[in-house]
C-alpha cells in the first residue's frame, strides 16, 4: 500500500504563477486535509474535506482553492502564487474518526520567488 | 480552535539520555495524539491516548494523558541518534480536524 501520495515533491514558482498540488490516498479514507508547515509555526490547516463532495476552510485558506475530485483524490490549487506561500505542504487522510489520527504524505516543498 | 502549547521548543541531548516533553491545551481534549516527523518526511503517528490518566508505551516511548485532560506528556528513554526529528502533539479541533502543537525539535549527539 502506498498510503498517501503527493506530487510534485519539489516546485519553484515565480510570483503570480499558478499550480496544483496533487494528493491521492489508497486506504479508502473518508476525510482528507491540506496543511502547511512553516518554521516555528507548526502545522496549520488550509482546507479539509470531511467526505467526498464536501470541502471546508481551515485556519489559513486565503490564496488557495481545493477540489475533492473523488474519494481518493484531493488537490490544492494556488491561483496566483505569492512569496508568502513558500512552505512545505502536507496532505493527510483519515477514516473520518479523528481519534485514529491521520496518515500523512511526504510533502511538497514549494518555493515562490 | 484550541491552542496547543508544546515545550520545550527544542532539545539538544546526548545519546543515552532520557527525554521529556509536554503539551498543554486551553481546552479539554478527549484524545491526545503524538507524532514524529523525520527530516524531509511527513509526520507519523507514534501513540494515541483516549482516556484521562492513561499511560501508553511504544517501545522506548511512553505517553500520558493528563488527568485534567488539558495536557499530555511524552517521554523517550535511552535516546539514540535515530530519535532525531520533530515531535508534535495533536488533538481534535471541534470534531472536524486535528490541531497540532508547534513541535519539539530533538537533536541527539552520539
- Asked, as a colleague might, if the bond just before B42 is cis with ω within 30 of 0, I would say no
Residue B70, all three cell numbers: 488539558
Q: Is the Cβ pair B42, A92 closer than 8 Å?
A: yes
At residue A41, does pLDDT exceed 90? no
Return the pLDDT at B96: 77
Give me the mean pLDDT over the A5-9 stretch.
Answer: 97
Give me the mean pLDDT over the B17-30 stretch.
Answer: 94
Give me the mean pLDDT over the A38-67 stretch.
Answer: 94
Our CA-based measurement puts residue A41 at a distance from the nearest CA of chain B, in whole angstroms, of 6
Q: How far is CA B76 from the centre of its chain?
A: 10
At residue A1, does pLDDT exceed 70? no
Give me the mean pLDDT over the A36-46 stretch.
Answer: 92
Distance CA A50, CA A22 (A): 17
* Pairwise pLDDT comparison (A25 vs A98), residue with the higher score: A25
For residue A44, CA distances in Å to B59, B69, B90, B95, B100 come to 29, 23, 12, 16, 8
- Percent above pLDDT 90 for chain B: 85
Per-residue pLDDT of B32-68, as tens digits, reads: 999 999 999 999 999 999 999 999 999 999 999 999 9
- Torsion sign, CA atoms B50, B54, B58, B63: positive
Going by C-alpha positions, the residue among B96, B102, B58, B99 that lies closest to residue B77 is B58
At residue A69, does pLDDT exceed 70? yes
Q: Which residues of B touch A92 (CB under 8 A)?
A: 42
Kindly indicate the confidence band of residue B2, based on its pLDDT and cuts at 50, 70 and 90: low
Out of A43, A45, A103, the one facing B88 most closely (by C-beta) is A43
Our CA-based measurement puts residue A29 at a distance from the nearest CA of chain B, in whole angstroms, of 14
Out of A48, A90, A100, the one facing B97 most closely (by C-beta) is A48
Amino acid at each position: 500500500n502506498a498510503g498517501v501520495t503527493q506530487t510534485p515533491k519539489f516546485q519553484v514558482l515565480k510570483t503570480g504563477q499558478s499550480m496544483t498540488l496533487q494528493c491521492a490516498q489508497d486506504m479508502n479514507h473518508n476525510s482528507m486535509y491540506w496543511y502547511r508547515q512553516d518554521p516555528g509555526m507548526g502545522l496549520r490547516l488550509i482546507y479539509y474535506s470531511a467526505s467526498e463532495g464536501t470541502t471546508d476552510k481551515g485556519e489559513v485558506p486565503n490564496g488557495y482553492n481545493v477540489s475533492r475530485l473523488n474519494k481518493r483524490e484531493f488537490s490544492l490549487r494556488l491561483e496566483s502564487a505569492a512569496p508568502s506561500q513558500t512552505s512545505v505542504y502536507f496532505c493527510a487522510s483519515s477514516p473520518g474518526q479523528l481519534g485514529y489520527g491521520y496518515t500523512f504524505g511526504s510533502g511538497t516543498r514549494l518555493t515562490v520567488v | 480552535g484550541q491552542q496547543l502549547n508544546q515545550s520545550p521548543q527544542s532539545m539538544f541531548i546526548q545519546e543515552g539520555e532520557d527525554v521529556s516533553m509536554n503539551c498543554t491545551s486551553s481546552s479539554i481534549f478527549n484524545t491526545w495524539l503524538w507524532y514524529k516527523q523525520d527530516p524531509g518526511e511527513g509526520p507519523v503517528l507514534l501513540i494515541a491516548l483516549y482516556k484521562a490518566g492513561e499511560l501508553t508505551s511504544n517501545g522506548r516511548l511512553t505517553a500520558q494523558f493528563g488527568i485534567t485532560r488539558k495536557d499530555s506528556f511524552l517521554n523517550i528513554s535511552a535516546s539514540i541518534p535515530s530519535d532525531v526529528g520533530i515531535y508534535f502533539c495533536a488533538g481534535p479541533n471541534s470534531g472536524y480536524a486535528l490541531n497540532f502543537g508547534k513541535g519539539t525539535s530533538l537533536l541527539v549527539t552520539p
